[in-house]
Structure 1
Amino acid sequence: MRMRRAAGVAGLVALLLTGCASPAPVGEAAAGSAAGGRGDTLTWGWSLPSTWDPVTSAVGNDVHALTLVYEGITEVDEKGEAQPGLARSWTYAKDGRSVTFHLRPGLTFSDGTKLDAAAVKASLERGKTAKDSTIAPQLVTVERITADSATDVTLHLTQVDYQIPLLLSGKTGQIVSPAAAKDPAKLATQPVGAGPFILKSYVPGSQATLVKNPAFWNAGDILVTNFVLKPTPDPSVAVAGLRSGQYDLADLTASQVGGVEAAGFPVEKTDVLPVRVLDVNNTVKPFDNPKVVQAISTAIDRQALVDTANFGYGRPVWQPFPQGYVAHDPGLDNLYPHDVAKARQLLAEAGYPDGVDVQLALGRADDPVGELIQQQLNAAGIRTTLTVLTPGVNNYITRKYPFVLDQFNARQSPVQALQVLFGAQGLMNLGKTTPAELPAAVAEASGHALTDPAYPAAIQAATRIAVTNMPNVFLYSVTRFAAHTPKVHGLRNWVDIQRFEGVWVDK
Structure 2
Amino acid sequence: MKKTLSILALSLMLVISACSSSQPSAGGSATGAAEPKDLIVAFGSEPVTLDPQDTSDGISNNANELIFDKLVTLDKDNKIVPQLAKEWEISPDGKKITFKLREGVKFTDGTPVNAEAVKYTFDRVINKDNKLNRYSLYAEFIDKVNADSEYQVSFDLKFPFGPALISFAHTNGGIHSMKNLKEKGKDVGKSPVGSGPYKMKEWVPGNKLVFEANNDYWGDKPKSKTITFKPVPENSARSIMLETGEADIIVPVVTTDVDRLKSNDKVKVLVEPSSRNLYMSINTTRAPFDNPKARQALNYAVDKETIVKKIMSGQAKVAEAAVGELVWGFSSVGAYPYDPEKAKQLLAEAGVQPGTTIKLWTPDGRYLMDRQIAEFIQGNLQAVGLKVEFRKWEFGAFQEATRDPKAEFNLALNSWGASTNDADWGLRPILMTKGASNYSKLANPEIDALIDKGMKSANADERKKVYVDALKLIKDQAPWIFLLDYKQTTGYRSNLENVYSWNNERLILRDVVKK
TM-score normalised to the size of structure 1?
0.86
Q: What does residue 137 of structure 1 align with?
A: 136
Letter in 1 for 2:498: G
Percent sequence identity over aligned pairs: 23
Q: What does residue 498 of structure 1 align with?
A: 507
Three-state SS of the structure 1 residue aligned to 2:130 is coil
Indicate conservation of the 8 Å contact 2:288/2:352, yes or no: no
Please give the alpha-carbon distance, in whole angstroms, between the structure 1 residues aligned to 2:120 and 2:243: 46
Q: CA deviation at 1:287?
A: 1.0
Q: What does residue 153 of structure 1 align with?
A: 153
Q: CA deviation at 1:470?
A: 5.2
Residue 93 of structure 2 corresponds to residue 85 of structure 1: no
After superposition, the Cα gap between the structure-2 partners of 1:244 and 1:433, relative to the gap in structure 1 and judged at 3 Å, is closer
Query: How many residue pairs align between the two structures?
Result: 484
Q: CA deviation at 1:160?
A: 2.4
What pairs up with 1:333-352 in 2 under 5 angstroms? 333-334=334-335, 336-352=336-352
Q: CA deviation at 1:62?
A: 1.8
Please give the alpha-carbon distance, in whole angstroms, between the structure 1 residues aligned to 2:206 and 2:393: 18
Q: Larger deviation: 123-132 or 463-472?
A: 463-472
Q: What does residue 51 of structure 1 align with?
A: 49
Please give the alpha-carbon distance, in whole angstroms, between the structure 2 residues aligned to 1:318 and 1:140: 28
What pairs up with 1:458-469 in 2 under 5 angstroms? 458-469=466-477
Letter in 2 for 1:146: N
**What is the CA deviation profile of residues 322-366 of structure 1, one whole-angstrom value per residue up to 9, with x for unaligned ones?**
224322112x122x2221121112112212364643221122398
Q: What does residue 379 of structure 1 align with?
A: 383
Residue 121 of structure 2 corresponds to residue 123 of structure 1: yes
Q: CA deviation at 1:192?
A: 0.3
Gaps spanning 5+ residues in structure 1: where?
15-24
Three-state SS of the structure 2 residue aligned to 1:89 is strand
Q: What does residue 488 of structure 2 align with?
A: 480
Please give the alpha-carbon distance, in whole angstroms, between the structure 1 residues aligned to 2:51 and 2:156: 25
Q: CA deviation at 1:392?
A: 4.7
Please give the alpha-carbon distance, in whole angstroms, between the structure 2 residues aligned to 1:207 and 1:54: 19
Q: Larger deviation: 113-122 or 88-97?
A: 88-97
Q: What does residue 68 of structure 1 align with?
A: 66
Letter in 2 for 1:219: D
Indicate conservation of the 8 Å contact 2:212/2:226, yes or no: yes
Please give the alpha-carbon distance, in whole angstroms, between the structure 2 residues aligned to 1:152 and 1:371: 53
Letter in 1 for 2:255: A
Q: What does residue 22 of structure 1 align with?
A: none
Q: What does residue 435 of structure 1 align with?
A: 444
Q: CA deviation at 1:180?
A: 1.3
Indicate conservation of the 8 Å contact 2:417/2:426, yes or no: no
**What is the CA deviation profile of residues 146-167 of structure 1, one whole-angstrom value per residue up to 9, with x for unaligned ones?**
1112222222222221222122
**What is the CA deviation profile of residues 93-145 of structure 1, one whole-angstrom value per residue up to 9, with x for unaligned ones?**
22222222332222221211111111111101111225331111222222221
Letter in 1 for 2:42: G
Q: CA deviation at 1:243?
A: 4.3
Please give the alpha-carbon distance, in whole angstroms, between the structure 1 residues aligned to 2:290 and 2:388: 17
Indicate conservation of the 8 Å contact 1:80/1:495, yes or no: yes
Q: Larger deviation: 147-156 or 360-369?
A: 360-369
Please give the alpha-carbon distance, in whole angstroms, between the structure 1 residues aligned to 2:394 and 2:36: 41
Q: Larger deviation: 79-88 or 304-313?
A: 79-88
Please give the alpha-carbon distance, in whole angstroms, between the structure 2 residues aligned to 1:408 and 1:167: 16
Q: CA deviation at 1:483?
A: 1.2
After superposition, the Cα gap between the structure-2 partners of 1:5 and 1:418, relative to the gap in structure 1 and judged at 3 Å, is farther
**What is the CA deviation profile of residues 206-243 of structure 1, one whole-angstrom value per residue up to 9, with x for unaligned ones?**
222222334545325x4223222222474343344234
Indicate conservation of the 8 Å contact 1:435/1:470, yes or no: no
Q: What does residue 212 of structure 1 align with?
A: 213
Q: What does residue 397 of structure 1 align with?
A: 403
Q: CA deviation at 1:288?
A: 0.1
Q: What does residue 19 of structure 2 align with?
A: none
Q: What does residue 363 of structure 2 align with?
A: 363
After superposition, the Cα gap between the structure-2 partners of 1:149 and 1:93, relative to the gap in structure 1 and judged at 3 Å, is same
Please give the alpha-carbon distance, in whole angstroms, between the structure 1 residues aligned to 2:461 and 2:75: 21
Q: What does residue 271 of structure 2 align with?
A: 269
**What is the CA deviation profile of residues 170-224 of structure 1, one whole-angstrom value per residue up to 9, with x for unaligned ones?**
243111112111213542222101222111222222222222334545325x422
Indicate conservation of the 8 Å contact 1:270/1:481, yes or no: yes
Three-state SS of the structure 2 residue aligned to 1:45 is strand
Q: CA deviation at 1:86?
A: 2.1
Q: What does residue 12 of structure 1 align with?
A: 13
Q: What does residue 299 of structure 1 align with?
A: 301
**What is the CA deviation profile of residues 26-74 of structure 1, one whole-angstrom value per residue up to 9, with x for unaligned ones?**
45x41xxx5xx64522222224311111233343442111111112222
Please give the alpha-carbon distance, in whole angstroms, between the structure 2 residues aligned to 1:407 and 1:104: 36
Q: What does residue 18 of structure 2 align with?
A: none
Q: Larger deviation: 106-115 or 179-188?
A: 179-188
Indicate conservation of the 8 Å contact 2:432/2:438, yes or no: yes
Indicate conservation of the 8 Å contact 2:433/2:448, yes or no: no
Q: What does residue 39 of structure 2 align with?
A: 42
Three-state SS of the structure 2 residue aligned to 1:327 is coil
Residue 430 of structure 2 corresponds to residue 421 of structure 1: yes
Gaps spanning 5+ residues in structure 2: where?
16-27
Indicate conservation of the 8 Å contact 1:273/1:478, yes or no: yes
After superposition, the Cα gap between the structure-2 partners of 1:414 and 1:135, relative to the gap in structure 1 and judged at 3 Å, is same
Indicate conservation of the 8 Å contact 1:361/1:386, yes or no: yes
